[in-house]
Amino acid sequence: INNAGTGGGHQPNSIQGIQYTFDVNFVAHFLLTRLLLPRLAANPRGARVVNLSSVTHRMARYLWDTYAAGATDDFFAGYADSKQAANLFTLELNRRLKDTNVVAFSANPGACTSRIWRGWTEPVSDSFQAQIGKFVMTNILFPFFL
């Protein structure tokens, strides 16, 4: 289960120039999964890769153009992009591993209590959560009922 992540705060970019949140939430999961794939594929009982995602993936920009042009310090954009990257990675894993006993899933746990907000002041985390709530209501739930 690729679950480790960060939700924000302004952090320095990695040595490779990758935005911190994107690096932690996606690149680390990609590299770990890549290292583990031979062992997962060798398991005769099968194996699963679960990538944690978020509804914020719908707010992602065009990832590769953004990162090819240089990292941004916009933590929210990095978060949304990292969740979209997790979803795209899941699709590609399934395509590449279709003839094996390894299956990949992308899971959105919804709103839940976690330590992702650690290091944030309460007004900032409340504001961020309110933005996500407004996005969900406006773009996902409301159109569903029309």
| Dihedral of alpha carbons 69, 73, 76, 80, sign | positive
79: annotated active-site residue? yes
The C-alpha atoms of residue 107 and residue 88 are separated, in whole angstroms, by 12
Which residue among the candidates 20, 62, 67, 79 is catalytic per the annotation?
79
Catalytically annotated residues: 79
